[in-house]
A = this chain, B = another copy of it.
Amino acid sequence: MKLSAFRKFLPLFDRVLVERLMAETKTKGGIMLPDKAQGKVLQATVVAVGPGAINQKGVVQPLSVKVGEKVLLPEYGGTKVVLEDKDYFLFRDGDILGKYVE
- 17 example contacts (A-B, Cβ-Cβ < 8 A) are as follows A6-B70, A8-B100, A9-B98, A9-B101, A10-B100, A10-B101, A12-B93, A12-B97, A48-B98, A51-B64, A54-B61, A55-B58, A56-B56, A57-B58, A58-B59, A72-B81, A81-B98
Copies in the complex: 7
Q: Assign chain A's interface to a size class.
A: 35 or more
A18 touches B (CB below 8 Å) = no
B96 near A12: Cβ-Cβ < 8 Å: yes
Contacts of A15 in B (CB 8 A): 97-98
A3 near B64: Cβ-Cβ < 8 Å: no
A60's closest neighbor in chain B, by CB? B58
